Structure 1
């Protein structure tokens, strides 16, 4: 590791090296180089720590002036940051400071329009995603299962990780969900043994993580679950969104399994340039997988990979029939990793699967016999539709609301899609900044059950308590972002759970 001295005019020079303990043969592969980290959320902080562990000097940027300095974080103390190897710059950004760094690593939350990143990419500067920066240093023997999609990716990743864990295969689960991939790479660097810490990395990948094309992130199995209007304030059009999602199939390792949802026009077009890189299989068609939700059976038919089998899903205890699809995709994906598993080995895992928090999560059953379900992660109409269809055999009080997403430059009015699944339920309660819009849309399109308007989530829950009857379900599946009232969907879900427990 070398000391990097930053002068007021943005120039820098390297001083004599500082010795740190090497924990693996690749510990110091960036010795003598300087790396800029853009965006200091969870991914950026993990990338900064990984860069220091690889021997680089780090210049860390974030426009939020209220963040703490990395130099003062105990997590970074072990890296000798007091010698000038790490400098954090918050608030106003001076682009000239990037002139003297060898690499720029970008957190997924940072649009390419910020920090002059688009210009840097055109200039030929080495600009990398956090995902690619981590993958560069991961042992090549680790098999990567990468999952993306507008909805369902966290659940599929969680199910795949649980299956592998139950089958005693050492697995890292993270990426856009939980721990960043840089954390996995850091753990591998800290292992004194030459044997990798993990056999498999199951990685959730957001479209933001693929805006910068990856070079080193090479999945053995890649999955694109679905594509519906979301994040268009960043991707502009559905075509651009699809192209970004299908970058997951680029640089695939040994042309292994690529799973793609069947019947989406934009994805069908975007995948064409990757057909020579993957063994393409379909979610919902042949070759690929099909689900019979009545018989609760998944059928797998991929002759090119020697996979022709069925998986019984009847033992699943997770709520919602859509989770049959999530479990089947997870099962086929880990079989495709070629780590010595077949479909038969996965059968006993099915009853042990549990979804991640805030995804059709059963919170409690209260003293009145009402079950409370938290689906706060349903931040768009399509996710809510899926959840409602999975519960159509039981009466529910449905909570919809928050901040509606922007589609094609205006606030989405797509809640008319919910008319059909809502007819099976007791009533709908709308709340939040888009509550009036949602209620009007449902009414104008012939909603056949009562709708009630509440000011906020707490008021909506109070109304739901009065409307629910013994044996009913109260389902929070908002179909909207949470930022009108909460920090994020997790915060919204936790508040809902607290309100639910107060009824227990």
Structure 2
């Protein structure tokens, strides 16, 4: 968003180039175009390292769901670690968090005291009207009161509209000379990052392949499936599942409800059998097919999408009863599958 509006931006941190690269370039006498803004992803693992000087102008914690608990042990510890992001922020600096999360609300008491706190889903903060595809912003303390049109956004899934709205809110809060009208004008030029509800292929039969392999936990997959309720998708679930609690649960039973709006599920990979059995035990109401590996899953998904389940089963009687993927459906581990 900032780049499309002409700002010189460093993008990195946990998702790519280390932040130290920006510092080194900034100190170089040969670096003629200094960065105006650094957009940095910071992981909870990095936040475990004590720091005294990390102080963003705007810091966002989009959500808190069960993840990395093999390291953090409890949701309380996880929330406390994530909220270290805000520890040294003060004055007009802005902390942006989701409304109504008990663990975050408790962690805020120890880590946020001297900066502005705003909310995703309430005012002061940002609220999204998904029917009208409009984001409304209110932050009286720094004079932000604006509205952004999201309708032109090229994205799949309701959560991506919220992501775009939060990004726009952060840009406005940075006060770098960009207004709501300018952001609305470039909304149609934005697209999802790789492996995050990314459309990787659309064929002549009207079948669209969506790669959401960055959805590496059940909660992220739940959110994506909820945003695809009207698509009647063939859903690929696989890979190596994360354990969510001390009882050894991986949480896939949570997906039974959003999956009822879709056509079928195809499981694969190391946890494919476990996912299939968990879904069946939880009362999955749509067919579930177990594939041997990712390539097989892609082939099965293509056939189901093109032929329909009845025709597919007539030609594949050896299959167990039985296009979104929370592991890569078209690109994985350096290989590309023809779809």
Written as runs of structure 1 = structure 2, the 5 A alignment for 1:23-422 is 163-192=1-30, 197-252=34-89, 254-422=91-259
Question: How far 1:392 moved relative to its partner?
Answer: 1.2
Kept after mapping to 1: 8 A contact 2:59/2:86? yes
Change (3 A) 1:249 1:345: same
Change (3 A) 1:471 1:338: farther
Question: How far 1:410 moved relative to its partner?
Answer: 4.6
SS of the residue corresponding to residue 325 of structure 1 reads: helix
Determine the C-alpha separation between the residues in 2 that align with 1:491 and 1:468: 19
Question: How far 1:296 moved relative to its partner?
Answer: 0.6
- The count of residues paired between Structure 1 and Structure 2 equals 326
Question: How far 1:224 moved relative to its partner?
Answer: 0.7
SS of the residue corresponding to residue 406 of structure 1 reads: coil
Determine the C-alpha separation between the residues in 1 that align with 2:326 and 2:196: 9
Question: How far 1:460 moved relative to its partner?
Answer: 1.2
Question: How far 1:306 moved relative to its partner?
Answer: 1.4
What does residue 86 of structure 1 align with? none
Written as runs of structure 1 = structure 2, the 5 A alignment for 1:459-498 is 459-469=296-306, 474-478=323-327, 492=332, 495=335, 498=336
Kept after mapping to 2: 8 A contact 1:249/1:277? no
Question: How far 1:292 moved relative to its partner?
Answer: 1.4
Kept after mapping to 2: 8 A contact 1:430/1:453? yes
Determine the C-alpha separation between the residues in 2 that align with 1:224 and 1:217: 15
Kept after mapping to 1: 8 A contact 2:298/2:330? no
Kept after mapping to 1: 8 A contact 2:211/2:330? no
Note the residue ranges of structure 1 that are not aligned, 5 or more in a row.
Answer: 1-162, 483-488
Compute the TM-score of the two structures, normalised by the length of structure 1. Answer: 0.62
Note the residue ranges of structure 2 that are not aligned, 5 or more in a row.
Answer: 310-322
Please, what is the CA RMSD of the aligned residues?
2.2
Kept after mapping to 1: 8 A contact 2:244/2:251? no
Kept after mapping to 1: 8 A contact 2:211/2:326? yes
SS of the residue corresponding to residue 339 of structure 1 reads: coil
SS of the residue corresponding to residue 308 of structure 1 reads: strand
Written as runs of structure 1 = structure 2, the 5 A alignment for 1:3-18 is none
Q: Which structure exhibits the higher relative contact order, with contacts defined as CA atoms closer than 8 Å and separated by 6 or more residues? A: 2
Question: How far 1:333 moved relative to its partner?
Answer: 0.7
